[in-house]
Amino acid sequence: MCRKLIPFVLAVVLCGCQPQTQNIDTINDPGKAVMQLDYRDFDRAASEMVQSLIASGSLKKQGGGRYVVATGRIVNDTMQRVDTDQLMAKIEQELMNSNLVVMTSAVGGNTASRDSMIYDVRDVRDSDKADEFNKDTLQAKGQLIAPELSISGKIIQRNVIYDNNLQQVEYYFQLQLTDLTTGLRYWQNENIIGKRGSKKVVPW
């Protein structure tokens, strides 16, 4: 009888040892640091970038008004499959909320920041299907506003052997703001996030 119960008891005990799935408290996360880039790293990098950009005064338009800004190419030069929108979505949102700029969805280095519907409706306008629409509601030609500034950048990863047991992983977040008319760079910032941990952990 007892022998029959042993597998059942073992199963119950082992199941009880499994950690429970929990939602992360993203506001006051008490979690330990990880070797890979996690959402906290993107939050910190975005926060520092936005504050630096606002403080620089580069987005203050001479004569008032708001700059039209496009997101340029953000290169992921890390060993991880990073979607650069994890960084840029926060930055774009904050810049728009600051009332200093308007972002454009017409052009951009990343397909996610472009809205293909802008060109779909124009294709409709120029096709036979246009007859199905009220012509006054179709977008006229020459209405799109070209961007004046572009934000581009790069995320770089460097792995360094620290000692026999530890490795050091350095992440560099680099962004720059360029005037598209003159090609001049108005602002640039680099934010470094460094992590040191066991060599056994694979940082990708």
Partner 1 sequence: MKFILYSLLVVLVISPVGCNPPPEKGVIMQEGIRSDDLGNNIVTRPIVHAFSALVGEGIEIRQALTHVNKNGFLELEVSGYNRSFDTRRFEYKVEWLDGSGMLITSHTSKWMQTSAAGKSPFTIKAVAPRTEAVDFRMNTRKIPG
Interacting residues with partner 1 (CB under 8 A):
28-33, 40, 43-44, 46-48, 50-51, 54-55, 57, 60, 90-91, 93-94, 97-100
Tell the smallest beta-carbon distance from residue 98 to partner 1 (Å): 6
> What type of residue is 91?
I
Return the CA Rg of the chain: 25
Nearer to partner 1, 46 or 175 (CB): 46
Nearer to partner 1, 90 or 167 (CB): 90
Nearer to partner 1, 97 or 105 (CB): 97
In the beta sheet, which residues pair with residue 195? 169
Nearer to partner 1, 47 or 76 (CB): 47
Q: 135: which 2 tokens? A: 């012509």
CB-side exposure of 188: number of CA atoms within 13 Å? 8
Tell the smallest beta-carbon distance from residue 91 to partner 1 (Å): 8
Tell the smallest beta-carbon distance from residue 180 to partner 1 (Å): 21
- State how far the Cα of 134 lies from the Cα of 130, in Å rounded to an integer: 8
Nearer to partner 1, 61 or 129 (CB): 61
Tell the smallest beta-carbon distance from residue 103 to partner 1 (Å): 15
Tell the smallest beta-carbon distance from residue 94 to partner 1 (Å): 5
Residues 88, 94, 95: CA angle, nearest 5 degrees: 85
- State how far the Cα of 155 lies from the Cα of 114, in Å rounded to an integer: 21
Q: How many helical (H) and strand (E) elements, i.e. helices and strands, does the chain have?
A: 4, 5
Nearest C-alpha neighbor of 192 from the set 84, 45, 79, 80: 45
